[in-house]
Copies of this chain bind each other. A is one copy, B any other.
Amino acid sequence: MNESLELAREALKAANEAKFLANNTWMLVATVLVFIMHLGFAALEAGFVQRKNVVNILFKNVMIVSVGLLSYYFIGFNLMYPGIEGGFLAFSGFGLTNPPDAAGLIEYADGSYTYYTDFIFQGMFAATCCTIVSGAVAERIKLLPFLIFCLLFVTIAYPITGYWKWGAGWLDAKGFYDFAGSTLVHSVGGWGALAGAILLGPRSGKYTEDGIRPIPGHSMPLATVGVFLLWFGWFGFNGGSVLSADPDLVSLVFVTTAVAAAAGCLGSFVVSKLIFETYDLSMALNGILGGLVGITASADGVSPLSAMLIGCIAGCIIPLSVSFFDRLKIDDPVGATSVHLVCGIWGTIAVALFGNYGEDTGGLGIQLLGIVAIGAFTFTFAFIIFFLIKILVGIRVEEIEERKGLDLGEHQALAYT
């Protein structure tokens, strides 16, 4: 009897270790998929700006990833996930806490992944909020002021509102639901983008007396590469947000994510054909992204058919929203505000309309409360920072620099020779 009991114990231990291996491996694969989204954003934004501003946008994206990872290591992670204790603004100290055991690592979240896995997965997300901003303020913002904004935005604003929900803060307690961040990541980036675009003003020559002058991106292949890489990475963004390799949930998330993106493409295709009377590649691309942002809040809790509807509506929103911001003369070279802010809000509302989360979660009122609270905080934060930078050091490049391009102005370099 002893022998069987010991063997059974050993077997159970080995089985749990195997689960731990599989879960942790999936989370790390999801991490690399989220990582490559930064290349997706860089390529998308570079493709959508003019030839003369390509080095600048690439440089910003490279810096954002690096600054974002390090600042999240030192401050953001502990501000967003303070653990039980809390502390001032829920901040639990600088830098990663040395986990207690000898190997410097602990099992975490009931055995599904390690502390370091938790950090690196979350850390890959963090910089995304700034990458979203960089597209909207492209082609006219000064480099250093933008990097200062990013540092503050990713270090302070993003983790605070993230804590409200994912760190088990007050919005979480109220039943607000946002699976992988339609609001917590995308709208947050979108509000920052909106604040920046408003304070900067439009690119010169965009809104003239003769109407809106389209300023087409310099490379559609680059933009397309970017969107496919973002879609690719989104399987990690949403799939990893299950926080385990749970087959039911992760596979559902894959399906909802994929069909929402596809439906977003078709929605945007049809509406932009009706409005602009052309087959517009950039609208189809942004339709995909809109669908992805839209499904992000509920990818783990809607049926595939609901996901299609959510994605399709998000796609239909895109051309309308782009026109809307253009009519307001808010100039956003890559459509980041439409994709991330507007579709992020839509996705968060969709949780209440389509989500199967039980009674206590994701009611319409609570979802709206979350949208408004996070929006108000983030927009105000971003606006104040941009405004302070504007009056202290200026945020917009000189007219002549804008005309000859930021690549020459800020980098003394050209993207192509």
Which residues, 7 to 25 on A, are CB-close (under 8 Å) to B?
7-12, 14-25
Binary flags per residue of A18-42, CB closer than 8 Å to B gives 1, else 0: 1111111110110111011011001
Q: State whether A105 and B54 are in contact (beta carbons under 8 Å apart), knowing that A12-B7, A281-B411, A414-B216 are contacts in the complex.
A: no
A415 to B255, Cβ gap below 8 A? Answer: no
Which residues, 100 to 115 on A, are CB-close (under 8 Å) to B?
103-105, 107, 113-115
A269 at interface, CB cutoff 8 A? yes
B42 to A228, Cβ gap below 8 A? Answer: yes
A3 at interface, CB cutoff 8 A? yes
CA–CA, A232 and B7, complex, Å: 41
A269 nearest CB neighbor, chain B only: B63
Interface centre among A55, A107, A228, A278 (most CB of B within 10 A): A228
Bin chain A's interface residue count.
Answer: 35 or more
Which of the candidate stretches A175-183, A245-253, A346-354, A392-400 sits at the interface with the other chain?
A: A245-253
Identify which of B143, B248, B415 contacts A114 (C-beta below 8 A).
Answer: B248
Q: State whether A265 and B63 are in contact (beta carbons under 8 Å apart), knowing that A9-B7, A123-B258 are contacts in the complex.
A: yes
| Chain B residue contacts of A84, Cβ below 8 A | none
CA–CA, A124 and B232, complex, Å: 12
Give A209 Cβ to nearest chain B Cβ, in Å.
Answer: 23
Interface centre among A66, A219, A288 (most CB of B within 10 A): A66
Interface centre among A46, A254, A280, A414 (most CB of B within 10 A): A254
A239 at interface, CB cutoff 8 A? yes
A208 at interface, CB cutoff 8 A? no
Residues of chain A at the chain B interface (Cβ within 8 Å): 1, 3-5, 7-12, 14-26, 28-29, 31-33, 35-36, 38-39, 42-43, 46, 50-51, 54-55, 58-59, 61-63, 65-67, 69-70, 73, 95-96, 103-105, 107, 113-117, 119-120, 123-124, 143, 216-222, 224-225, 227-229, 231-232, 235-236, 239, 245-248, 250-252, 254-255, 258-259, 261-263, 265-266, 269, 278-281, 284-285, 288, 303-305, 308, 410-417
